[in-house]
Amino acid sequence: MFKEDTLSTKTVLITGGGSGLGLAMAKGFAALGAQLLICGRRLEKLEAAAKEIDAVSSAGKNTAFYSVDVRDYEAVGAMMDKIEAGFGGCDVLVNNAAGNFLSASEDLSPNAFKSVVDIVLNGTFNCSQQFGRRLIDAKKQGSILNIVTTYTETGSAFVLPSACAKAGVYAMTNTLAYEWATYGIRVNSIAPGPFPTEGAWTRLMPDPKMEQAYLKQIPAGRYGEHDELANLACFLISDLAAYITGECVTIDGGERLKAGQFNFITQAAPREQLKQFFRMMKPGKN
């Protein structure tokens, strides 16, 4: 459904764009003609990522990269000033920078909780307001895409800081979508399920047995491919989605649906055996 020039009019800034899902989205955008800007804290990682992005750019555009801590409001503003000077600003902001780890909630230190909230929630605010203010002042339209999670509404054991922070980002998405629609700024989010990345996966799935148990809870029977997430992000930031705002799209192979009362039965026995059991339970069979 995409062409090589689908995003050719877009200049896109991705926070945490040097690795993982941020890098995957960056490559997807570049392949459709976008001008890419990525930021993160490690300059060497960003430089290497920029080369990967440039290699797939359909328009031959060079990726710009900025070392910045999204927790620092003034530093984010200084980066936005550089982007304005170099590119005339940007049209799209993807808030992807995040932090997460497993911990029993009773063992969390205040600093551990704060570190995740500062990156995910405060960082998203810092980038969104600095970005939004510039669009509003220039009377330009644009869009923001926030990466949230499938447990924003339900919460999730052992990732309390992430659950709280991502829930805040989800609320921010809806709030800004309504408030900034008058300026022509769209704000949407994606809630990814399991998309393995080298960094996050080693922290969240340290034991192969844990990973095997987790995989059994995904109805699709597999993890997500990075290109699948990138394709969804491409659509949401493109003009093909011009009337979509305040929307959160879940992409998780059906994982979130496991909350159903009898979903556990899918793991109790092979499917044909379950069907035979169900037939035996029908009225008139006993």
CA-closest candidate to residue 2, choices 226, 227, 231: 231
* Angstrom distance (rounded) from CA 70 to CA 66: 11
143 - beta bridge partners?
92, 186
Neighbours of 46 (CB within 10 A): 22
Asked if 102 and 114 count as a contact pair (C-beta separation under 8 A), the reply is: no
End-to-end CA, the chain: 53
The amino acid sitting at 214 is Y
CB of 29 closer than 8 Å to CB of 36: yes
Number of Cβ within a 10 Å radius of residue 179: 12
170 has catalytic annotation? no
Please tell me which residue in 151, 170, 178, 243 is annotated as part of the active site.
Answer: 151
Residues annotated as catalytic (active site), given as ranges: 151
